[in-house]
Amino acid sequence: MVEIQNNSLTNYKNYYIYADMIRNNEMKIIYVPEDLTISNIDDHIDAIINILKDGIETDIVHNCKIRVNWENDVGCNLSIIDYWFSMFMWSMILKTGHPIRPKHIFLGSRAKVYNPDDEELNPWEMKRKDIQNYIDKYILTLENKIKIGNMKLNEIIADGLWHFSSIEHFAYYLANTINNEDNIDLMRANPEFDSLVHCSLADVPFEDVKSKGMEYADRAIDIIKDSKRYIGYEHGLTNSFKASEAINPRQFKEVYLNIGTKPNGEGSIFTYVIDSSFMTGGVNSPIAYFIERSTARYAQIVSKRNVGESGDLARLLGLNNTDTILNPDSSYECMSQHYIKFEIKTKKHLGMINGRIFRFNPNGIDFVIDDEDTSMIGEIIYLHSPMTCSSMSSGHGICKRCYGNLYWVNKDINIGKMAAEILSAQLTQTLLSAKHLLETKIKTVKWNPEFKDYFNIDINSIKLNQDLENDQDLRKYVMIINPEDVQLVNEEEDAIYYDEDDNEISMDDESEDAILYNEYITSFVIRTPTGEEITFGSESDHELYISKELNTIIRRKAYNSDGKVNISLNSLMDENLFYIKINNNEISKIMEDIINIINKSSVTEKLDKDEALQNLVDLVIEGNLTIDSIHLEVILANQIVRVDDILHKPNWNDPHAQYRMITLNQALTNNPSVIISLLYKDLQKVLYNPLTYSKHAPSFFDLFFCEQPQNYMNNDLITTDTSIIQDPEKGVQMYTLTDYQPDEDEFLKKIEEFMTEEDFN
């Protein structure tokens, strides 16, 4: 830590109008808007930075209060830190042309519980989400989007957020790092934290190991956040956890508390729990060491494979959506007779359609989604959507009503390309992230209610409940299996392989001693002594792979007259009966499901437009991707065609319009633009396919292949005059190229000059 002297607050010339406050150790009163203006707000911010840099550890700074007053004596006292952060935000408010109001005070995560007289408030508690929410609420308003414009708003936000970089001046003072001394002190002072660090999950059901471990981790994190109460100072990770930055809670769990379960790289999970953390000797056994090393190798292999696959998908999405535009007439609303039926299942679903126009029924009136209106959760609505926009299907771009309020944000942007890049960038990042690839998320199997009364599940093997051994009538209980219900795994790679000790293993050509569990049933019956027959199985018809012991018994038993096999439970008491395959619902599977909706014929073509969007949104939320639904709809809109003509979009003005979903590959192969299809692949097929001669649509890429693209460029700067126009107001030279016929190199040079003009639109 850098030691800062308490007597260093003497550079009064650097403190602007706050010099007297520091010199006399008195409250400073700021009058808004007289004292804070767009021209001097940066001077105020710099002055506070200088005060903090000189005296961050002094009592003067710690106890300093600044009174902010509005008219009618409305105001409050702020700590110097709260005042400093608020000015970052106020600089953006002022640049949008609005006055600073009391509601604009920025208090991070404490805004709803703020008490100006509470001396115990922690001035450092702030999250990235708090900053985002403030900007969304006060800067990115619909009024600002229309009045100021997208580019200028981005500049304002960038300037405001740049001020946060000054926090780096205090990095050494904050001392955010990991050290065992903090842990030891906290364990000695708080017995609960000590027990969490030394927790055991050996008795926790296998499918609950991860969730229980995270429950312990969350409690340990809460204690670390409040560590000053126990040890007199803040643990090195306190600020990181309060800000939800830098430290991943799952990785914290593995380092501090418990490693738990690990994926095996084949869609399942190792049936072994590493019941310790890295701090408490986590991989000090051969099997734990093997599992930990294998998962790292698995992440590397999958990441390398995903690089090519995700990059290919990004290119295809960009190519197929590059010509999607907004209708330039902001007052135009299409007359589409079709909507997208959408269920708002959660708060996240609501947030993904914020600002969208919808109806409660197709023949009703239009409303606008407000993501603060949580009463909408659970509702089924009908969205105006790019997927059914008749303006887009007729080639005039998506209308404002179908695109929603984001129209004003994205009206100057290639919305198709942007949608493709937002989705593909997040898919790529997630697929290449080791922390996601090494995640375990076991799918819980829901059995019939009586299942636990009769059976015990030990990770992946099923035996009879030992309590049944004391039942005097055990011989009268009969398991009934119908041989016709026994199925074989179609593909051997989907079967389960075990060694002689019944440990699940991977099958390869050299595993001659491996036992293949290829026979399974999804349900069976038990008849009780009273004659009642109870059907056992899961809600999802999970496969019950028949053990070799049970298989032997089945083969020895003679079939009854009804062709079924009856086995007394008494003969099964100590045997493994079934094995279940433990499926890991890992993040890469979710990403794969997202891609399948877009580009897998067996999935895409079976969905209607409503199902396609709903399933895609559900998966995006499950995969923790951040993307508005409108971008997903733009992508899907380019994969909807007429039933009888793959080159044309449906006429959504027709209430009886028929359509079908096609895959991304099909959309590119059969793109209405010849150039788009040529840029895809299978050139031989494209050139000889009779559909090529029916393709009619222009594309942005056509300009690159035109002999005279200037004849097709629609821009106000281009006229039939061959002279150079001087704009008297802007002082900008605007070249006109319609009749200009230079050689190719000179022409490209002129185009480059054209495209780099500052005011070129």
CB atoms < 10 A from the CB of 293, how many?
A: 11
Q: Which of 200-204, 380-384, 535-539 has the highest mean pLDDT?
A: 380-384
Q: Is the pLDDT of residue 253 over 60?
A: yes
Categorize the per-residue pLDDT at 695 as very low, low, confident or very high, splitting at 50, 70 and 90.
confident
Mean pLDDT of 459-471: 83
Specify the pLDDT at position 409: 83
Specify the pLDDT at position 680: 80
SS3 state at 525: strand
Whether the CB-CB separation of 18 and 51 falls below 8 Å is answered with yes
**How far are the Cα atoms of 454, 455, 458, 535 from residue 449, in angstroms, in the given order?**
10, 11, 18, 10
Domain boundary among 550, 579, 608: 579
- Residue at 205: amino acid letter: P
* 237 and 88 fall within a common domain: no
Range in 172-181, 432-441, 647-656, 733-742 with the lowest mean pLDDT: 733-742
**Angle 592-597-600 (CA atoms, 0-180°, nearest 5)?**
80
- Tokens at 474, concatenated: 């055990």
Categorize the per-residue pLDDT at 200 as very low, low, confident or very high, splitting at 50, 70 and 90.
very high
Whether the CB-CB separation of 54 and 60 falls below 8 Å is answered with no
CB atoms < 10 A from the CB of 639, how many?
A: 24
* 193 and 165 fall within a common domain: no
SS3 state at 250: helix
Categorize the per-residue pLDDT at 650 as very low, low, confident or very high, splitting at 50, 70 and 90.
very high
* 164 and 193 fall within a common domain: no
Q: Which runs of E-coded beta strand occur in 425-508? A: 455-458, 461-464, 478-481, 487-488, 496-498, 504-505
Specify the pLDDT at position 516: 47
Mean pLDDT of 595-619: 93
In a domain, 683, yes or no: no
Whether the CB-CB separation of 547 and 575 falls below 8 Å is answered with yes
* 207 and 219 fall within a common domain: yes
Whether the CB-CB separation of 369 and 605 falls below 8 Å is answered with no
Q: Is the pLDDT of residue 192 over 90?
A: yes
**25 Cβ neighbours under 8 A, 6+ residues apart:** 60
SS3 state at 517: strand
Q: Is the pLDDT of residue 734 over 50?
A: no
**How far are the Cα atoms of 272, 524, 742 from residue 462, in angstroms, in the given order?**
16, 13, 81
Categorize the per-residue pLDDT at 630 as very low, low, confident or very high, splitting at 50, 70 and 90.
very high
Categorize the per-residue pLDDT at 458 as very low, low, confident or very high, splitting at 50, 70 and 90.
confident
* 497 and 543 fall within a common domain: yes
In a domain, 52, yes or no: yes
Q: Whole domain around residue 720: which residue ranges?
A: 706-756
- What does the longest C-alpha to C-alpha distance in the chain come to? 106
In a domain, 6, yes or no: no
SS3 state at 332: coil
Q: Is the pLDDT of residue 512 over 80?
A: no
**How far are the Cα atoms of 437, 438, 531, 737 from residue 430, in angstroms, in the given order?**
8, 11, 54, 45
What kind and span of H or E run contains 223? helix 209-225
In a domain, 163, yes or no: yes
Whether the CB-CB separation of 708 and 684 falls below 8 Å is answered with no
| Mean pLDDT of all residues belonging to the chain | 81
Range in 179-188, 226-235, 406-415 with the lowest mean pLDDT: 406-415
CB atoms < 10 A from the CB of 113, how many?
A: 9
- Alpha-carbon dihedral sign for residues 171, 174, 180, 181: positive
Q: Is the pLDDT of residue 739 over 70?
A: no
Range in 130-144, 171-185, 395-409 with the lowest mean pLDDT: 171-185
Specify the pLDDT at position 107: 83
In a domain, 221, yes or no: yes
Q: Is the pLDDT of residue 725 over 60?
A: no
* 77 and 202 fall within a common domain: no
Categorize the per-residue pLDDT at 493 as very low, low, confident or very high, splitting at 50, 70 and 90.
very low
Report the distance separating Cα 183 and Cα 279, nearest Å. 11
Strand 367-368 with 357-359, pairing? antiparallel
Q: Is the pLDDT of residue 195 over 70?
A: yes
CA atoms within 13 Å, Cβ hemisphere of 393:
28
User: Bigger pLDDT: 119 or 397?
Assistant: 397
* 142 and 31 fall within a common domain: yes
In a domain, 723, yes or no: yes
Domain boundary among 199, 233, 258: 258
Digit-coded pLDDT (tens) for 520-561: 888 999 999 888 999 998 887 888 888 888 888 887 776 666
Domain boundary among 203, 238, 258: 258
Range in 310-324, 427-441, 530-544 with the lowest mean pLDDT: 427-441
In a domain, 575, yes or no: yes
Specify the pLDDT at position 731: 39
- Residue at 379: amino acid letter: E
Whether the CB-CB separation of 740 and 750 falls below 8 Å is answered with yes
Identify the residue whose tokens are 């700021």.
30
Q: Is the pLDDT of residue 623 over 90?
A: no
Counting the structural domains of the chain, the total is 4
- Residue at 106: amino acid letter: F
* 461 and 541 fall within a common domain: yes
- Tokens at 241, concatenated: 């956890």
Categorize the per-residue pLDDT at 244 as very low, low, confident or very high, splitting at 50, 70 and 90.
confident
Range in 410-414, 528-532, 647-651 with the lowest mean pLDDT: 410-414
* 50 and 92 fall within a common domain: yes
Q: For 31, phi and psi rounded to 5 degrees?
A: -105, 125
* 111 and 189 fall within a common domain: no
* 137 and 46 fall within a common domain: yes
Q: Is the pLDDT of residue 736 over 50?
A: no
Categorize the per-residue pLDDT at 673 as very low, low, confident or very high, splitting at 50, 70 and 90.
confident
Specify the pLDDT at position 435: 57
- Going by C-alpha positions, the residue among 369, 340, 376, 372 that lies closest to residue 355 is 369
Strand 65-69 with 28-31, pairing? parallel
* 25 and 163 fall within a common domain: yes
Percent of the chain scoring above 70 in pLDDT: 80
Q: Is the pLDDT of residue 726 over 90?
A: no
In a domain, 482, yes or no: yes
**How far are the Cα atoms of 105, 159, 400 from residue 152, in angstroms, in the given order?**
23, 11, 21
